[in-house]
Amino acid sequence: MEQMDFFQWHWWAGVGLVLCIAEIFVPGFWLLCLGIGCVAGSVVAVITPEPTAQLLAFSALSLVAFFTMRPLLMKRMWKDTGVRTNVDALVGQRGRVTQDFEPGLRLGRVSAAGDDWRAECTTDRALRIGDLVDVVRVESNTLIVKPADPA
């Protein structure tokens, strides 16, 4: 019986190498786990030409890598550093009113983080140019602000 040409160590090693390189372009460590499984298939192919044993080794080590190594890598590489960027960095900042807020409308303009923003106040209190406000959150291109506590 003729053996399939794919089930040789160099094919397993080549596919494993391609998967590990492809992992650079695809986040999530899925391809790396499959590449590690291919290395196991390659090692077993050196020992025995039996395709079933090679596929079992590939499957087993891929699953082991997926359930053990992948969670560790995901935790290490995708951890939250606590650094806020873009509009998230504006929350908690203090700004200065650049256009009056009328009590009924609650709309005006605020200068925060060096930019002038459209703003909406959380209270009906009138705010005048120069008053200090704190940024509560950002909705689209509008800062939601509250009057700053006099401290």
Query: Does residue 3 lie in a domain region?
Result: no
Structurally, how many domains does the chain consist of? 2
Closest CA to 128 of 151, 90, 96, 104: 96
Domain termination residue (choose one: 35, 59, 77)? 77
Q: What are the tens digits of pLDDT across the range 24-35?
A: 998 888 899 999
Contact by Cβ (8 Å): 85, 125: no
Can you give the residue range of the structural domain that contains 23? Answer: 9-77
Q: How far apart are CA 122 and CA 69, in angstroms?
A: 47
Is residue 20 in some structural domain? yes
The residue length of the chain stands at: 151
Closest Cα partner for 106 from 90, 119, 92?
119
**Tell me, what CATH number does 95's domain have?**
2.40.50.140
* pLDDT higher than 80, residue 67: yes
Is the pLDDT reported for residue 129 higher than 80?
A: yes
pLDDT of the residue at 1 = 44
Cα 6 vs. chain centroid, distance in angstroms? 37
- Domain boundary residue among 53, 77, 101? 77
